[in-house]
Structure 1
Amino acid sequence: MAATDTNSAIVLDRAAAAPQPLIDPFARAITYLRVSVTDRCDFRCVYCMSEHMTFLPKADLLTLEELDRLCSAFIAKGVTKLRLTGGEPLVRRGIMTLVESLSRHLKSGALKELTLTTNGSQLEKYAAQLKDCGVDRINVSIDTLDPDKFRAITRWGDLGKVLAGVDAAQKAGLKVKINAVALKGVNEDELADMTAWANGRGMDLTLIEVMPLGETGESRVDQYLPLSLARARLAERYTLEDIDYRTGGPARYVRVKETGGRLGFITPLTHNFCESCNRVRITCTGTLFMCLGQNDAADLRTPLRASESDVPLYAAIDEAIGRKPKGHDFVIDRQHQRPAVARHMSVTGG
């Protein structure tokens, strides 16, 4: 090998060994990665999916080993928080082997937090294993405490099974945060009681506005409840005190004086949270979305599979982060009843 070739190889090896941190065009450090390990789910929530979904062929999905390598590449480039999502992440076959493997980054100190968002249906089975792998906290999606209404919202879900999962998670020592999508005319009258329930069990509750992603067979105009209105109604029952508390995500929190607990608001429509965005998302096929509310994306599966070296992968990640936009374009299209983004939330990861 010529000297110049040898020197080039050394440069490449050094680049792979010392990848550069992820800084977007607006000087925001990208330290939070959300990874959809599957687009499949055992629920069909009315704001997330259509009732009769067509899921990706299993052959199109990254293997668990490829997901591990992809996550590890981002961790090497400065990601310190990793959230596994879906679909429903716990329905992915062999998912705990991935969680266990990724936990090595917690032990090394490279990763500060490994967590996941789940609908809770499989939580009773996996809660203890998650805790053993170093997962300290999880988000559980529960939009109502009414069993009949829960089945109507999820189309297939069993609230009793989900609540048993929450019990198992708390018993295992996991810190649980409840996420609830605020739905006009559906659960808006429950939000105060849900706050009391969650805070009474030592859990934060975060309310989320409907996001116009994908065709679901339901009108987003009919579903959309501005959280500014929800907060005003909650303030009639509770004393809400603004606090400077962050979890690394987009929620803005208040302290509920009467319960002593926290209540969060995620408002992509009434007040977006883009100015401090430190997040990117990867799909289960290896597509990187730099913004949940934009269609621009980057293919990471090709460089991942093209070489055993991570150098091409790092280059593809850097190029994509260089295109990260300042903010999203979410809007409820009242005239045409179209989603702002055609893909479903389950494709990108919640």
Structure 2
Amino acid sequence: MTPYDDSAAQAVSTASRPVLIDGFGRAVTYLRVSVTDRCDLRCVYCMSEHMTFLPKADVLSLEELDHLASAFVTMGVRKLRLTGGEPLVRKGFMTLVERLSRHLRSGALDELTLTTNGAQLERYADDLARHGVRRINVSLDTLKPGLFRSLTRGGDLARVIAGIDAVQAAGIAVKLNAVALKADNAAELPELIRWAHGRGCEITLIETMPLGEVEQDRTDQFLSLKDVRRDLSSFWTLEDDHHATGGPARYVRVAETGGRLGFITPLSHNFCEACNRVRLTCTGTLHTCLGREDASDLRAVIRAGASDADLERAILAAIGGKPKGHDFQIAAARPAVTRHMSTTGG
């Protein structure tokens, strides 16, 4: 495979680049890249307890990940988020971050960030900051060590908090993501929000999403964030905040804590109308919608020795087929899509 030549991209202004526009007029400027399907935790709503992971040959090399991500940057993507599985367990991950950071230095990319479970953060905090990562998302559903251990099937809450401490000390802003679970953390959400805001962290609540088969019945765990917001409004002042990060969250400011709170509501309120993002899996499959089984095989394109122009045409064709919205329905008998979030890229 010929390495992707982005030297021209660094010399070309953003205005003259091709713009990725889907069939509904939405500009795609945000790419989420899964660098591995593996994870050091087994969160009950995300993965089966006994997962079968991909063989190494199916997973993109670091060079291929760089190749594909750089092609999207050349075509106008301004925000790049690295995900997993758990990205920090991928061998050589910091090498990839270092290579992609050249797009920050050139001005081609506005933000390079990642989503992590936080368990490995403490050891990588300084390197992430050195390579230009200024903001990360950490998944944290509870402050109770026993419940955390249960939800993650063995995780250590203290390690995650130590990781958050380390990245904040390195000057990286932290946003927490918490999946709202009716049977587990519903009553704890106000305390989790207070804790996050007390540390200077934003926090976003997320409805459980029907991706992949897991042992639990997601219907039992589904908690509508409409109901959560109503309950929070009974004792806090929630002021609409039009803050936008390129993601699907809608935000409010909590007057009593001074912090920002987001709501991601794929089930109780569809967020597709302004969708600007696509997902690239660790196998090189491009999904233009989280809740559809659409797929374009970009790994096959680059491993066949395609030119940069051929790759751009394949990407444009995939973006042109991006659907108007997802098919999430919590009451459905089976998941909306069969792939797990850990495979899709969280």
Scaled by the length of structure 1, the TM-score of the pair is 0.94
Equivalent pair of 1:19/1:314 in contact (CA under 8 Å): no
Could you report, residue by residue, the CA deviation over 1:64-94 in whole angstroms, capped at 9, with x for unpaired residues? 0100010000000000000000000000000
TM-superposed deviation, 1:117: 0.2
Partner of 1:158: 156
What is the Cα deviation at residue 19 of structure 1? 5.9
Structure 1 counterpart of 2:205, from 179, 204, 207? 207
Which runs of 5 or more residues in structure 2 are unaligned?
A: 1-7
Which runs of 5 or more structure 1 residues have no equivalent in the other structure?
1-12
Residue 309 of structure 1 corresponds to: 307
**Native 8 Å contact 1:176 1:203 kept in 2:** yes
Q: CA deviation at 1:333?
A: 2.8
Shift of 1:307: 2.0
**Residue equivalent to 1:87:** 85
> Share of identical aligned residues, percent?
67
- Measure how far apart 1:306 and its partner are: 1.9
The aligned counterpart of 1:294 is: 292
**Cα RMSD, aligned residues only:** 1.3
In structure 2, C-alpha distance between the alignment counterparts of 1:185 and 1:306, rounded to whole Å: 49
User: Who is 1:341 aligned against?
Assistant: 337
Describe the superposition over 1:146-204 as per-residue Cα deviations: whole angstroms up to 9, x where unpaired: 00000110112100000000000100100000000000120000110011100011000
Alignment match, 1:26: 24
Name the residue aligned to 2:320: 322
Residue 193 of structure 1 is matched in structure 2 by 191
Aligned residues: 334
Equivalent position amino acid for 1:341 in 2: V
- Counterpart residue type for residue 62 of structure 1: L
Secondary structure of residue in 2 paired with 1:190: helix
Structure 1 runs (4+) deviating above 6 angstroms are none
Q: Distance in 1 between matches of 2:298 and 2:221?
A: 35
1:214–1:343 Cα contact (<8 Å) kept: yes
Structure 2 distance, partners of 1:221, 1:310, is 45
Structure 2 distance, partners of 1:125, 1:340, is 37
SS in 2 for 1:246: coil
- Provide the secondary structure at the position in 2 that maps to 1:332: coil
Cα distance in 2, alignment partners of residues 237 and 85 from structure 1 = 35
3-state SS, counterpart of residue 44 of structure 2: coil
Counterpart selection for 1:232 from 213, 230, 233: 230
Residues of 2 paired with 1:213 and 1:276: CA distance?
22
In terms of Rg, which structure is larger?
Answer: 1
Q: Per-residue CA shift, 1:21-60, capped at 9, x if unaligned?
A: 2110011110000000000001100110000000001111
Amino acid at match of 1:339: P
Aligned mates of 1:50, 1:26 — CA distance in 2: 35
8 Å Cα contact 1:42/1:156 also seen in 2 = no
Q: Given the alignment of the two structures, is residue 255 of structure 1 paired with residue 261 of structure 2, yes or no?
A: no
